[in-house]
């Protein structure tokens, strides 16, 4: 069984053939380079363990990931959904590529907002379990910059060009029920069952 190190912003555990990566920056789990690097490091460790056959990616708090923080220190002081990117975005993309290159199947437990780059992070998993309270939005036009985290590829591939373009152009928030209808979510369950349903799906895959 893989030995997981202690990370600053994620918790990693395993039970049977299923590993769990929990983002621990509640309530909104804003991400930066450091957080994505930690998740990528954990995923590479899991990939190297043949006993681990599926991963659940989940988060503490109200949101799954409500946006990006591009501040230099990764502190919570300046996190917001509307921060502009800096030169560090190029390093962030390197870590995002590592995430998309992982081999182990991933199930995402999306219990709340997945906004901007957080939407991109929610599309790293192969499957998503959502609830009526889930919110998905590509809010880049409101911020005045190009969609990030590979969304111009992953979002149209998942829901089609027309709906993806609608999300990009309008920054509209897609609620859980609509996300399920569109294929953005694979399962729709009550809020309190999101994580347990994701774990059960991961066990079935494993």
pTM: 0.89
Distance of CA 150 to the CA centre of its chain: 12
How many residues comprise the chain? 206
Tokens of 32: 């930066």
| DSSP class per residue in the chain | -PPPPPPSSEEEEEETTEEEEEE--TTT--B-HHHHHHHHHHHHHHHT-TT--EEEEEESSS-SB--B---SS--STT--TTPPP-TTHHHHHHHHHHHHT--S-EEEE--SEEETHHHHHHTSSSEEEE-TT-EEE-THHHHTS---TTHHHHHHHHH-HHHHHHHHHH-PPEEHHHHHHHTS-SEE--GGGHHHHHHHHHHHH-
**pLDDT tens-place string over residues 75-93:** 343 344 444 444 556 788 8
Packed helices 33-47 and 89-100: angle between N→C axes, nearest 10 degrees: 20
pLDDT above 80 for 142: no
Q: Which of 81-85, 160-164, 199-203 has the weakest average pLDDT?
A: 81-85
- Tracing tokens 């590993």 back to the chain, one arrives at 19
Domains and CATH numbers, the chain: 10-205 (3.90.226.10)
Q: Quote the pLDDT of residue 93.
A: 83
For a pLDDT cut of 70, what percent of the chain falls above it? Answer: 90
**Closest to 126 measured CA to CA, from 97, 158, 163:** 158
Q: How far apart are CA 5 and CA 41, in angstroms?
A: 10
**pLDDT tens-place string over residues 3-38:** 899 999 999 999 999 999 999 999 999 999 999 999
CA distances from 204 to 51, 113, 167, 173, 199 (A): 15, 26, 32, 31, 9
């Amino acid at each position: 069984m893989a030995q997981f190190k202690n990370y600053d912003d994620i918790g990693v555990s395993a039970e049977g053939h299923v590993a769990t990566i929990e983002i621990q920056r509640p309530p909104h789990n804003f991400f930066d380079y450091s957080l994505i690097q930690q998740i990528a490091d954990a995923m590479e460790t899991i990939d190297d363990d043949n006993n681990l056959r599926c991963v659940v990616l989940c988060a503490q708090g109200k949101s799954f990931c409500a946006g990006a923080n591009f501040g230099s220190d990764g502190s919570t002081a300046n996190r917001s959904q509307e921060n502009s990117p800096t030169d560090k975005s190029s390093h962030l993309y390197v870590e995002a590529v590592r995430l998309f290159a992982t081999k182990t199947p991933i199930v995402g437990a999306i219990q709340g907002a997945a906004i901007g780059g957080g939407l991109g992070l929610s599309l790293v998993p192969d499957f998503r379990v959502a609830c009526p309270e889930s919110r998905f939005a590509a809010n880049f036009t409101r911020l005045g910059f190009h969609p990030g985290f590979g969304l111009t590829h992953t979002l149209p591939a998942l829901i089609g060009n027309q709906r993806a373009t609608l999300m990009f152009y309008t920054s509209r928030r897609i609620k859980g029920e609509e996300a399920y209808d569109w294929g953005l979510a694979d399962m729709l369950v009550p809020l309190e069952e999101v994580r347990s349903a994701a774990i059960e799906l991961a066990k079935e895959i494993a």
